[in-house]
Amino acid sequence: MIDVIVPGLDGVYDLVVKPSGALSHEVSAVSLRPNAIRAVSLDKDRFRDGDADGNDRIDAVDLARLRAAYGRTSSDPLFDPAVDFDRDGEVTVLDFSAVVRNLGYAGPIPVN
């Protein structure tokens, strides 16, 4: 669940949400009122992890960056937290599978 507070805006908007390491999602036709809280429901499991460089595409650049950090832990100076998609402090097959599973996808992904 994401809460959106936008002071001064009144109307209907399309919102784009981009979590670190994942593709963006676009929620269309969200009604906003000045200084009101609007809850937008987005399930974490729906986001496609694997975007290490933040360009909203999962591609060979993300895969190369992951390969360079594969097997490293957070105590290693060559550890790259941007490719630790499950945020467990190590770059493992789980992080690798996120990139491979989502390779070729680009955001924003429409939610509704």
**109-110 and 11-17 as β-strands: parallel, antiparallel, unpaired?**
unpaired
- With bands split at pLDDT 50, 70 and 90, how would you rate the model's confidence at 10? confident
What is the distance between the alpha carbons of residues 101 and 110, in angstroms, rounded to a whole number? 19
Q: What is the CATH number of the domain that holds 101?
A: 2.60.40.4130
| More confident of the two residues 3 and 96 | 96
Domain hosting residue 30, numbered range: 2-110
| More confident of the two residues 104 and 31 | 104
- What single letter denotes the amino acid at residue 77? P
The pLDDT, as a whole number, for residue 63 is 97
| More confident of the two residues 14 and 57 | 57
User: Does residue 47 surpass a pLDDT of 70?
Assistant: yes
The total of structural domains in the chain comes to: 1
DSSP lists the bridge partners of residue 49 as 22
Residue 26: both structure tokens together? 């676009």
